[in-house]
Amino acid sequence: MSMDTSHTANNDEIDLFDLIDDIKDKWYWLIGTVALSLCLALVYAFATTPVYQTEVVYKEVSDTDLLPVNQPRLQGVFSLSNEKSFKEVRALARSGNTKRAFYNQLLAEKDDSLLTLIYDERLTSEQNFSKFSEFFAYVDPGAKDGDVFLRIKFTLSDAQWATVLLNRYSDFVLQRYLTEVRNTIHLNKQSRLDALRLEADGLRTKYLAQKNQRMLALEEASSIAASIKQKMPFYSGSNNAVFGAQPPLFMMGQTVINAELSQMRSRAERGEDAYISGLPELNWKIQNLEEAEVNWDSVRFVQLDQSAVLPLKPIKPRKAMIVALAGVVGGMAGVMFALLAAAQVRRKKSKIGNRRRRISAMLKSR
């Protein structure tokens, strides 16, 4: 009894050398499994459509690049910091509306070689656009990183088209933002000019009303002075009359009154704006704002740190990694299959041996 128990315990122990011998005996299972795995991996690696990726990188510009839109003549009309400019371009580049407008522009070109990559007739327009949007990926550290940048990645099965489309999208975003800034400056400028011109017209209206009132008063005083034959001012010379309030206008005398009237009538010939308090300053502001021009060629809203370049190799499938993983997995599976095959052979031999021993024992008992 003790010998049988000891024999069973010895059989249950795993002998490393026995395992190695089993693998050697069933080597064809290991080699076959590895070969099959490698073949399947190679077929997958070379049959799968390659996907290429390229990228552009935006960074903040310096204040100098925005000086043309922050010039003194536009003060109070428009201002733009480099931080605000970068944030707005970043938001525009990530916007779904921007991608949709760009996608519709591509569809309108009706380029068959491009449509095969970005349009599927079996899908709806929304599904096609959703699929196109998935080609984009963004790396944006935002406030978590001291280095402010935006990396836009674009993947496509055609390396040349991937490069062309991403560069075109970058230009599309920047041109769209340029148009927005130009429209904003134009509208703000016109609004400010309208406000200044309205203020100037108000000063002119007030001045003309006061002028007309003064001229009517002088004409009336001139008539009174003429009727009483008051040629010279009543309070001139040896006449030291004292008045408790401002003396009536007719006491200025007809000569002085007519001279003032003549002077006021002649202002229209020389231009009356100079006589209106505050109007010359307003006219100067209006003229400066009207002459304000932006040299758009010298304006940069973001720094294009890297344009999209033609990728040299696809990002997937990674053929070397696939083949290596297939070799490792195939080797592990091959070892397992070899051990299982060896165990099956031992099991059959054990059954045959047990059957023979039982038959032999039965014959001896007779």
Domain ranges within the chain, ordered by starting residue: 14-48+320-348, 193-296
Q: Are 59 and 302 spatial neighbours (Cβ–Cβ below 8 Å)?
A: yes
The pLDDT assigned to 9 comes to 42
The pLDDT assigned to 289 comes to 94
Distances (CA, A) of 228 to 237, 246, 250, 262: 19, 20, 9, 21
Helices (H) and strands (E) in the chain, counts: 11, 4
Paired residues of 153 in beta bridges: 55, 137
How far is residue 247's CA from residue 153's CA, in Å, rounded to a whole number?
86
The pLDDT assigned to 37 comes to 76
CATH topology of domain 193-296: Helix Hairpins (1.10.287)
Instruction: Kindly write down the DSSP assignment for every residue of 121-187, as one continuous string.
Output: TTS-HHHHHHHHHTTEEEE--GGGSSS-EEEEEEEES-HHHHHHHHHHHHHHHHHHHHHHHHHHHHH
The pLDDT assigned to 366 comes to 59
The pLDDT assigned to 90 comes to 94
Q: pTM of the full predicted structure?
A: 0.71
> In terms of C-beta distances under 8 Å and separation of at least 24 residues, what long-range contacts does 239-246 make, across chains too?
none
pLDDT in tens, the chain (366 residues): 444 444 444 454 556 666 676 666 777 777 777 777 777 766 666 666 688 999 999 999 999 999 999 999 999 899 999 999 999 999 999 999 999 999 999 999 999 999 999 999 999 999 999 999 999 999 987 655 556 889 999 999 999 999 999 999 999 999 999 999 999 999 999 999 999 999 999 999 998 898 888 888 888 888 877 787 777 776 655 555 555 567 777 777 778 878 888 888 887 777 788 888 899 999 999 999 999 999 999 999 999 999 999 998 887 766 677 667 867 887 777 677 767 776 777 777 777 777 777 777 776 665
Region at 253 (left for phi over 0; alpha for psi -120 to 50; beta for the rest) = left
Smallest CA-to-CA distance from 337 within 38, 34, 41 is with 34
The pLDDT assigned to 66 comes to 95
The pLDDT assigned to 146 comes to 56
Smallest CA-to-CA distance from 138 within 176, 186, 197, 89 is with 89
The pLDDT assigned to 4 comes to 46
The pLDDT assigned to 48 comes to 66
